């Protein structure tokens, strides 16, 4: 029996008992991180290589600390990002939002499309667009100091500073110099109402930064309303917007992008679990 695999099995049982949603995957990821190998290489390690620090990581995960805070890394589409306390950990559902934005950019008859990512956090969306649409010029906006620091590090680590420009600013007043010149605006803004506080998982509300969670207003959608106003200001006629929301907010977010504000083709789109996840819309031209 391989000692490490045996310890991973024990750790899996402990994490499952603690209520961790993906106990085996988390145990393997912790083991790979501690031992400096990929998950597919764990079975190749000799017993003599076992590092007891693995159990320190298991205890932290068992206590509710996010896996990504323990390892300091998160995976998003084709990227490995640096994350930690003070920055929102990117979720798989946001990959679908980024994918839609990437598909639209590839379809555009624009040589060098201009993109704005409002509330960039770790810069996951901005960097995915930069990687997968090399001709795009991406402006990433972040107000929070800790999140801005993580975004700056990820942009530097991935050598994307020539393609992604990081701005410190509020998503409601960002980038007036780009008014009417942007091809696509994308955002995963805060959108949880404070009335839902007790229903938010403890590990989320205790470890993800508050500015990335609570959206403001009775319905939690004040930040989304700010994104709508900013997108309307920044986009050229015919430009697109994509905004993430919770699986219960599809209808109210749909109506934020009202026709009287110039929006057309407003659609509620679903994530990989077939739940409402984001709204997309197109800004009309003056001729419509």
14-49 residues labelled b (16+ CB within 10 A) or e (exposed): bbeeeebeebeebbbbbbbbbbebeeeebeebeeee
First to last CA, the chain: 70
Q: Which two tokens stand for residue 14?
A: 């402990």
What's the alpha-carbon Rg for the chain, to the nearest Å? 20
User: Is 139 in contact with 167 (CB distance < 8 Å)?
Assistant: yes
Indicate if 94 and 128 belong to the same structural domain: yes
Residue 188 assigned to a binding site: yes
* Model pLDDT, residue 287: 33
Indicate if 90 and 224 belong to the same structural domain: yes
Residue 209 assigned to a binding site: no
Report the distance separating Cα 13 and Cα 58, nearest Å.
11
Residue 90 assigned to a binding site: no
CATH code of the domain containing 112: 3.40.50.150
Indicate if 151 and 231 belong to the same structural domain: yes
Report the distance separating Cα 113 and Cα 161, nearest Å.
16
Indicate if 162 and 209 belong to the same structural domain: yes
pTM of structure = 0.91
Specify the number of domains making up the chain.
2
pLDDT in tens, the chain (288 residues): 588 889 999 999 999 999 898 999 999 999 999 999 989 899 888 888 899 999 999 999 999 899 999 999 999 999 999 999 999 999 999 999 999 999 999 999 999 999 999 999 999 999 999 999 999 999 999 999 999 999 999 999 999 889 999 999 999 999 999 999 999 999 999 988 887 777 667 777 888 888 888 788 888 899 999 999 999 999 999 999 999 998 888 899 999 999 999 999 999 999 888 999 999 999 996 433
Indicate if 231 and 129 belong to the same structural domain: yes
Range of the domain at 23: 3-64
Indicate if 112 and 181 belong to the same structural domain: yes
Indicate if 16 and 132 belong to the same structural domain: no
Give a yes or no: residue 77 inside a domain.
no
Indicate if 224 and 163 belong to the same structural domain: yes
Give a yes or no: residue 200 inside a domain.
yes
Indicate if 18 and 91 belong to the same structural domain: no
Indicate if 204 and 152 belong to the same structural domain: yes
User: Is 281 in contact with 186 (CB distance < 8 Å)?
Assistant: no
């Amino acid at each position: 029996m391989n000692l490490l695999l045996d310890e991973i099995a024990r750790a899996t049982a402990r994490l499952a008992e603690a209520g961790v949603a993906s106990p085996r995957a988390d145990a393997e990821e912790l083991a790979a991180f501690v031992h400096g190998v990929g998950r597919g290489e764990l079975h190749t390690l000799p017993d003599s290589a076992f590092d007891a620090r693995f159990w320190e990581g298991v205890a932290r995960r068992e206590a509710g600390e996010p896996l990504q805070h323990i390892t300091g890394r998160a995976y998003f589409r084709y990227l490995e990002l640096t994350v930690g306390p003070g920055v929102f950990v990117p979720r798989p559902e946001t990959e679908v939002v980024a994918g839609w934005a990437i598909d639209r950019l590839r379809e555009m008859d624009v040589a060098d499309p201009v993109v704005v990512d409002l509330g960039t956090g770790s810069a996951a969306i901005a960097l995915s667009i930069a990687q997968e649409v090399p001709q795009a010029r991406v402006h990433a906006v972040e107000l929070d100091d800790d999140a801005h620091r993580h975004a700056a590090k990820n942009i530097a680590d991935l050598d994307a500073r020539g393609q992604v420009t990081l701005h410190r600013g509020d998503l409601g007043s960002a980038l007036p110099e780009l008014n009417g010149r942007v091809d696509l605006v994308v955002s995963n803004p805060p959108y949880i109402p404070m009335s839902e506080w007790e229903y938010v998982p403890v590990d989320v509300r205790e470890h993800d930064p508050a500015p990335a969670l609570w959206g403001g207003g009775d319905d939690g959608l004040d930040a989304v309303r700010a994104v709508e106003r900013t997108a309307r200001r920044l986009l050229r006629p015919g430009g697109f917007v994509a905004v993430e929301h919770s699986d219960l907010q599809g209808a109210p977010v749909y109506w934020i992008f009202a026709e009287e504000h110039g929006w057309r083709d407003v659609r509620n789109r679903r994530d990989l679990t077939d739940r409402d996840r984001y709204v997309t819309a197109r800004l009309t031209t003056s001729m419509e």
